[in-house]
């Protein structure tokens, strides 16, 4: 038996073809009973059958293997459940011959409260606490519900039967085939599914209402929510019906199941999960309340629904061969969700907002502790950690870069043929490249290997040298260190106008081109500006020499560049400043050019950068902090005055989102007028929750502002927010409050807020929202994390949520001493599931510490920030 232990994959001698599963959850004792009959194809003679199982107790005498159509039944002589490897090894006294047979197992398990496998979630119905049973199997937790070949390539069909209390709604991937009620219990059987992977099997049992619609070709679409919340599913329902139509055309393949259910689950670890035909969501990602949801919530629902429905083709119909290719699922679904959202809501300018995805990818991938898009996975416990910004955001960004290079039509045709070729099967990254190569004639595999098989990305430096433009690439690292990597970079360039766009592949370390070839004249001084990586379509950064940079500053100020390019100039400058390749003085001078900015995405990123610079300045040059704040308040003032506190009739979705972000930033920067106004409006809101004085888009800003003035001795604002939290049943409102409670400046009150996050009043999935403490709260949060570490490990175990605690609390520090202290603590408290996140967080602390030292050496910074603080426009 030992030969099967410690292996990354199951042995290949038995191939599952069909599962017949019966489950009986007990919602009172929090256990379930089950049985499974698996039709197997034995492809090599064996006396062992090895499959996955975890946290299940198998009834030994129930296990049998029946050969083919005969009545020959083999009983195992030995059964071992190896918990470390999550495998069930069955040893038979005689050899099982090649051919078909059926493996039968009876088992029991626990309806756990860890939001994975077959788990329980709580909700209220008529004031009474109830339990529902839910599954979450991706990546490797189907094995916690029934013994199975729990690998994406082991596709089979599934016939599911449930025994449940007769008053409850019971859903699975397929429509109900038969329902038989017997007193308090009913037996629900579902139609057999098409061929699919185990991680996409789903079951939900509880009390729900729904809203319903149909696509033009008769697919029944429903959105389920807790009783009384179904109407909040109407927006998602509309998006889903339209998105299914759109993908049917885009992929040139219809949706492959007769129905699609989407359901909001109160306790849910991720944002959503694309189970075939039964997609599960956090409430915040599916439900939309016209009166109390913000514009940002509406956008979140649309993009998440579009993402999950993209998986019905890309992931469910065509599935990655192994977790190494997870990025194919997630990067692609992220990219295509923007395509769908843009088609449904063109006024949201969602492709410009896609830059937020790219920036998050660039931010993580600028660390030496990043990882390639394709990662070797050697154990199930390693999979959780790659559900990160590399798989999703870098993945989506390199797909966008490739689509931009090959052209939209060619890209779409290739995808349609790829889906047709691999439908009901599995594919690797190379298979997608081959499809794109066949259609485009371009060497896609060679082009893309440098982006998926090595980690990191380049910074392309450009400078003018006499009549030449010189280009040079090197790996960008936020630490400022020298990296080894080299890429095939699709460089695009515009100069003075967007009418003419030049492009070439930078395949070597450096290259030079005649200025005349690019900008039509040999005299660089004649021309206005030169911008590389047009519209930020490429996943790389750009560093300009001073001559070009000065012209770009002018182009930003005069709004001569597209919003995406204005975003890129600032984002690259900020990253280069953090890596100590540009001074903070030059960064804040560039930021000053954005005073007249009106575009949502550009301003949203300007706000993010403003708050990060304010934080690092507080560590490096506290004596200049007031000047920084004054400058930043002045920078955002113009836009804040234009938007005000209340929505204007007929204003855009983007203005509604921007108003909340800008007022929140002004509150965090301590702007007196904003704080006073917020306080008055919050008082009105406490008296009347439907007051027009505080609509959903500005509530977060008011909550943050109220917490700025709250302390242990002046706690009325804090108590009032807790009251609102306790009285609302809208998850989005609860999330807004949790995200504000820790933003007080009093360490004692911050500690109280952090303790509240771990109380029974906060669902464990939501505690992470309360970790965004300000500078005054860093040490308190770190002491709190150490104090509660055992409890956190017990609650969050090996799931990905535990990693959020580590990165949120550790990353904001900016001293080498603190990095050592953190390292020493985790030397005796680490678990494998946080190893990568811990290394990344410590790297960020060291990057911050080096940045602080470098800022302190800038002689011209004092004069520059003073001048910007007092500059009048």
Long-range contacts (CB closer than 8 Å, 24 or more residues apart) made by 122-130: 122/266, 122/267, 123/206, 123/207, 123/226, 123/266, 124/729, 125/207, 125/226, 125/227, 130/27, 130/206, 130/207
- Given 308, 357, 374, 843, the catalytic residue: 308
Higher pLDDT, 872 or 601: 601
Ramachandran bin of 302, using left for φ above 0, alpha for ψ from -120 to 50, beta for the remaining angles: alpha
The residue assigned the tokens 């952090």 is 754
Nearest alpha carbon to residue 8 among 322, 427, 326, 455: 322
Asked about 212 being catalytic, the answer comes back as no
Do 856 and 822 meet the contact criterion of CB atoms below 8 Å apart? no
Would you state the pLDDT for residue 395? 96
User: Can you give the pLDDT at residue 537?
Assistant: 97
Please give the distance of CA 6 from its chain centroid, rounded to a whole number: 30
* Separation between Cα atoms, residue 766 and residue 801, nearest integer Å: 10
Which residues lie across from 18 on neighbouring strands?
A: 39, 157
Percent of the chain with pLDDT strictly greater than 70: 99
**CA–CA distance, 873 with 867 (Å, rounded to integer):** 12
DSSP 652: -
pLDDT range class, residue 855, cuts 50, 70, 90: very high
The string of pLDDT tens digits covering residues 400-434 is 999 999 999 999 999 999 999 999 999 999 999 99
3-state secondary structure of 360: helix
Kindly report, residue by residue over 345-362, the tens digit of the pLDDT: 999 999 999 999 999 999
Q: Predicted confidence band at 384 (pLDDT cuts at 50, 70, 90)?
A: confident
CB 62 within 8 A of CB 37: no
| Mean predicted lDDT score pLDDT of the chain | 95
Helix ranges (H only) for 208-349 are 234-250, 295-311, 326-344
| pLDDT given at position 1 | 85
Asked if the peptide bond before residue 139 counts as cis, ω within 30 degrees of 0, the response is yes
pLDDT score, position 522: 56
Q: Which residues of 718-743 are buried (b: 16+ CB within 10 A; e: fewer)?
A: bebbbebbeeeebbbbbbbbbbbbbb
H helix runs in 504-583, sequence order: 515-519, 546-557, 563-578
Q: Is 67 helix (H, G, I), strand (E, B) or coil?
A: strand
Average pLDDT over residues 454-464: 96
pLDDT digits (tens, 9 = 90+) for 475-497: 999 999 989 999 999 999 999 99
**pLDDT number for residue 67:** 93
pLDDT digits (tens, 9 = 90+) for 313-325: 999 999 999 999 9
pLDDT digits (tens, 9 = 90+) for 519-578: 766 565 655 799 999 999 999 999 999 999 999 999 999 999 999 999 999 999 999 999
For residue 212 the two structure tokens come to 């319903």
Q: Percent of the chain having pLDDT more than 90?
A: 92
Closest alpha carbon to 606 in 547, 535, 529, 666:
666
**pTM higher than 0.85:** yes
Question: pLDDT tens digit string along 197-213?
Answer: 999 999 999 999 999 99
User: Which pLDDT score, from 0 to 100, does residue 402 have?
Assistant: 97
CA distance readout (Å), 56 to 60, 143, 225, 745: 12, 8, 30, 48
More confident residue, 834 or 865: 865
Helical packing angle, 600-620 and 653-668, nearest 10°: 10
pLDDT of residue 40: 98
pLDDT (0 to 100) of residue 378: 82
């Amino acid at each position: 038996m030992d030969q099967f232990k410690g292996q990354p994959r199951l042995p290949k001698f038995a191939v599952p073809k069909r599962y017949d599963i019966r489950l009986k959850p007990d919602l009172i004792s929090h256990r379930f009973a089950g049985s499974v009959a698996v039709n197997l194809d034995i492809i090599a003679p064996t006396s062992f059958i090895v499959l996955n199982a975890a946290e299940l107790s198998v009834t030994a005498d129930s296990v049998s293997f029946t050969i083919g159509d005969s009545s020959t039944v083999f009983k195992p002589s030995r059964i071992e459940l190896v918990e470390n490897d999550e495998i069930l090894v069955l040893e038979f006294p005689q050899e099982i011959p090649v051919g078909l047979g059926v493996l039968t197992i009876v088992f029991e398990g626990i309806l756990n409260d860890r939001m994975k496998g077959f788990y329980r979630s709580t909700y209220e119905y008529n004031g009474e606490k109830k339990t529902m049973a839910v599954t979450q199997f991706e990546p490797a937790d189907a094995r916690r519900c029934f013994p199975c070949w729990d690998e994406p390539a082991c596709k089979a069909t599934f016939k599911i039967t449930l025994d449940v209390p007769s008053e409850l709604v019971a859903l699975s991937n397929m429509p109900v085939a038969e329902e038989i009620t017997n007193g308090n219990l009913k037996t629900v059987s579902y139609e057999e599914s098409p061929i699919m992977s185990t991680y996409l099997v789903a079951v939900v049992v509880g009390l729900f209402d729904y809203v319903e619609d149909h696509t033009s070709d008769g697919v029944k679409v429903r959105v389920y929510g807790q009783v009384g919340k179904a109407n909040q599913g109407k927006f998602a329902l509309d998006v889903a019906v339209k998105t299914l139509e759109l993908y049917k055309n885009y992929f040139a393949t219809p949706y492959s199941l007769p129905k699609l259910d989407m359901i909001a689950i109160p306790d849910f670890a991720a944002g959503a999960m694309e189970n075939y035909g039964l997609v599960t969501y956090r409430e915040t990602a599916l439900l939309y309340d016209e009166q109390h949801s913000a514009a940002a919530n509406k956008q979140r629902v649309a993009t998440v629904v579009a993402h999950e429905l993209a998986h019905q083709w890309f992931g469910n119909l065509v599935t990655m061969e192994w977790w190494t290719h997870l990025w194919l699922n997630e990067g692609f679904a992220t990219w295509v969700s923007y395509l769908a959202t843009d088609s449904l809501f063109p006024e949201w300018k969602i492709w410009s907002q896609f830059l937020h995805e790219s920036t998050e990818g660039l931010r993580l991938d600028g660390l030496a502790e990043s990882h390639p898009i394709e990662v070797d996975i050697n154990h199930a416990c390693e999979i959780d950690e790659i559900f990160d910004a590399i798989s999703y955001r870098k993945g989506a960004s390199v797909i966008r870069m490739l689509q931009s290079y090959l052209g939209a039509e060619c890209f779409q045709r290739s995808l349609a043929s790829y889906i047709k070729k691999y439908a009901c099967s599995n594919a690797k990254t190379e298979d997608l490249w081959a499809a794109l190569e066949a259609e485009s004639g371009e060497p896609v595999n060679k082009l893309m290997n440098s982006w998926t098989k090595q980690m990191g990305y380049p910074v392309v430096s450009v400078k003018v040298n006499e009549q030449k433009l010189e280009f040079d690439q090197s790996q960008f690292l936020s630490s400022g260190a020298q990296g080894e990597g080299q890429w095939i970079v699709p460089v695009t360039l515009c100069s003075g106008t967007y009418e003419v766009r030049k492009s070439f592949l930078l395949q070597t370390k450096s290259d030079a081109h005649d200025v005349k070839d690019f900008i039509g004249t040999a005299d660089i001084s004649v021309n206005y500006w030169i911008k590389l990586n047009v519209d930020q379509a490429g996943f790389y950064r750009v560093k300009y020499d001073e001559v070009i940079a000065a012209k770009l500053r002018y182009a930003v100020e005069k709004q001569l560049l597209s919003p995406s390019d204005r975003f890129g100039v600032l984002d690259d400058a900020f990253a280069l400043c953090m890596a100590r390749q540009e001074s903070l003085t030059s960064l804040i001078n560039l930021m000053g050019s954005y005073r007249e900015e009106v575009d949502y995405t550009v301003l949203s990123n300007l706000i993010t950068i403003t708050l990060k610079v304010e934080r690092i300045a507080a560590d490096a040059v506290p004596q200049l902090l007031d000047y920084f704040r004054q400058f930043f308040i002045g920078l955002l003032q113009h836009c804040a005055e234009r938007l005000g506190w209340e929505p204007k009739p007929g204003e855009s979705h983007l203005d509604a989102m921007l108003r909340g972000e800008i007022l929140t930033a002004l509150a965090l920067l301590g702007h007196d007028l904003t704080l006073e106004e917020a306080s008055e409006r919050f008082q009105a809101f406490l008296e009347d929750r439907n007051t027009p004085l505080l609509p959903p888009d500005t509530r977060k800003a008011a909550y943050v502002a109220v917490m700025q003035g709250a302390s242990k001795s002046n706690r009325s604002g804090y108590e009032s927010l807790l009251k609102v939290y306790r009285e609302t049943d809208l998850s989005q409102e609860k999330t807004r409050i949790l995200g504000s409670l820790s933003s007080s400046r009093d360490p004692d009150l911050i500690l109280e807020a952090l303790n509240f996050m771990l109380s029974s009043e906060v669902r464990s999935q939501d505690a992470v929202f309360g970790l965004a403490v300000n500078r005054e709260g860093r040490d308190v949060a770190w002491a709190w994390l150490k104090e509660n570490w055992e409890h956190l490990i017990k609650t969050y175990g090996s799931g990905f949520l535990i990693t959020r605690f580590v990165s949120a609390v550790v990353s904001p520090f900016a001293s080498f001493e603190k990095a050592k202290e953190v390292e020493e603590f985790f030397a005796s408290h680490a678990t494998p599931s946080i190893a990568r996140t811990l290394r990344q967080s410590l790297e960020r602390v060291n990057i911050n510490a080096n940045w602080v030292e470098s800022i302190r050496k800038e002689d011209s910074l004092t004069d520059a920030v003073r001048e910007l603080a007092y500059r009048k426009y």
